[in-house]
Homo-oligomer: A and B are copies of this chain.
C-alpha cells in the first residue's frame, strides 16, 4: 500500500536538514513545511486567499472538532472539507486522539477505542481506530493520521509502554480499515521520553508500513532539551524516503531545531493564537503589540517582512486596533504571524538547497535582539 509520495531534492552535509516535496490528491507541497491549523474548517481570522498569498501550501483540520460540529457526514454530503471551506490545496487531518485527551477529563480508553463526551453538549461519543479513519475519509483529507493515545508528561516507563503498545495495535487497525481512496495515512510514533519505547514504536509502525511518520507526544510539557533528544533518538531510525512530521510544534526556534534534526512537516496553533493575543513574531524577536512603546511607532512590525500587514500598517495602528478590540486586529496579526512562519520555512528551504542550513541556523539566533 505504500506510495512514493516523497521526493527528496537535497540534503545537508553537516546536519539532517533536507529539502523535498510531498505529493497528494490535491497537489504537491514543498518541505520543510509549516501547516497552519484550521481547527473548525477555518484557519482563524484569515481567508483561504490570505493563506495562499502568505505562502501556505497545506493546512491542518481537526477531526475531533469537525466530528462534533458540523459532523463529517454533513461535510461529506456537501462535497468534502476542501469544497466546504473553499481551500483547494492539500489538507492534513489529525485523528482526534490528542483533542480527546486534552479536552476531556473523563475520556475512557479501552482496547476498542476512546469513549468521551462532547465538550459542546456533553453527549457520549466513541471513536475507534476504524471510525477515526472513516471520519477522515469522509472529510476528504489528503493526509490522515492514525488514532493514537497520548502519553502525559511525566509518565513512568510502564504507563508509557502500555500506551505506546496500544497505539501500535490501533495503528495496525487503522491501516487495515483504510479504503482505497488515494488518501494518505501517516503512523504516529509515541513512546514518551523513553528512547527504547520510541525505537520499538518506530520498528512496529514501519513494519505495518505508512505513507509517512509523525512524532507525537512531544511539546506536552517536557523540557525543550528532552524534546530535541527524543527527536534525535527517533528521526534517524525512520525510513529516509518518507516524510517526517513533528506534531503540534512549535515556536520559531523549535521549527529551526526540528528541521536541523530532519523533520519535514510541522503544525501549531501558536502563530494564530498568539496573533489573537497580540504577540507577534519578527525576525528580531517577539513584539507584544499592546505595549505603550508602540503608541506612536510608524514602523511596520518587521521592516524585513513583505506580508500584507507589514506592507500597509504601522505598529501604532495595530496597537490601536488591538486596544480597541477590533476584529481587524485579529485578521492583520494572524496574517503577519502565519506569514512569518511560512516565510521562515521558505528561508530554511532555500538555505538547504545551497547546503547553508547550519549557517542559516546560526544567523537566525544572531538576528534576535536580546
Whole-angstrom CA separation of A74 from B79 in the bound complex: 50
- The chain B residue with its CB closest to the CB of A319 is B70
How many angstroms between the C-alpha atoms of A313 and B49 in the bound complex? Answer: 13
Which residue of chain B has the shortest Cβ distance to A332 in the bound complex?
B47
Is residue A26 within 8 Å, beta carbon to beta carbon, of the partner chain? no
Assuming the A-B contacts A47-B331, A327-B330, A327-B331, are A78 and B316 also in contact, with contact meaning beta carbons closer than 8 angstroms in the complex?
A: yes
**How far apart are A307's CB and chain B's nearest CB, in angstroms?**
13
- CB-CB < 8 A to A284: which residues of B? none
Give Cα A326 to B70, complex, Å.
13
Indicate if A222 sits at the interface (CB-CB under 8 A): no
Digitize A68-109: 1 where CB-to-B-CB distance is under 8 Å, 0 elsewhere.
Answer: 011000100111000011100000000000000000000000
Contacts of A1-48 to chain B: CB distance below 8 A: 40-42, 44-48
Given contacts A314-B84, A327-B45, whether A295 and B74 have CB atoms under 8 Å apart is yes
Contacting pair A44 B296 (CB below 8 A): no
A94-152 with Cβ < 8 A to chain B:
none
Question: Which of B41, B48, B320 touches A320 (beta carbons < 8 Å)?
Answer: B41
Asked if A179 CB lies within 8 Å of chain B CBs, one says no
Query: How far, in whole Å, are A324 and B312 apart by their CA atoms in the complex?
Result: 30
Nearest residue in B to A84 (C-beta to C-beta)?
Answer: B317
How many copies of this chain does the complex contain?
2
Residues of B within 8 A of A78 (CB): 296, 298, 314, 316-317
Which residues on B sit within 8 Å (CB–CB) of A240? none
Known: A42-B328, A86-B313, A330-B327. A320 touches B70 (CB 8 A): yes
A208 within 8 A of B: no
Residue A288, interface by CB 8 Å: no
Fill in one digit per residue for A294-318: 1 if any B CB lies within 8 Å of its CB, else 0.
Answer: 0110100000000000001110110
Say whether B86 contacts A47, CB under 8 Å: no
How many A residues face the partner with a CB closer than 8 A? 35
Annotate A133-176 by CB proximity to B: 1 below 8 A, 0 otherwise: 00000000000000000000000000000000000000000000
A321 at the interface (CB under 8 A from B): yes
> What is the bound-complex CA distance between A46 and B330, given in angstroms?
11
| Given A84-B314, A86-B312, A295-B74, A69-B328 contact (CB < 8 Å) | no
A350 within 8 A of B: no
In A350-368, the 8 Å CB interface with B consists of: none
**Residues on A facing B (Cβ under 8 Å):** 40-42, 44-48, 69-70, 74, 77-79, 84-86, 295-296, 298, 312-314, 316-317, 319-321, 323-324, 326-328, 330-331
Question: Can you spell out 14 A-B residue pairs with CB atoms less than 8 angstroms apart?
Answer: A41-B324, A44-B328, A45-B331, A46-B328, A69-B323, A69-B324, A70-B316, A70-B323, A77-B296, A78-B296, A78-B314, A78-B317, A86-B313, A331-B331
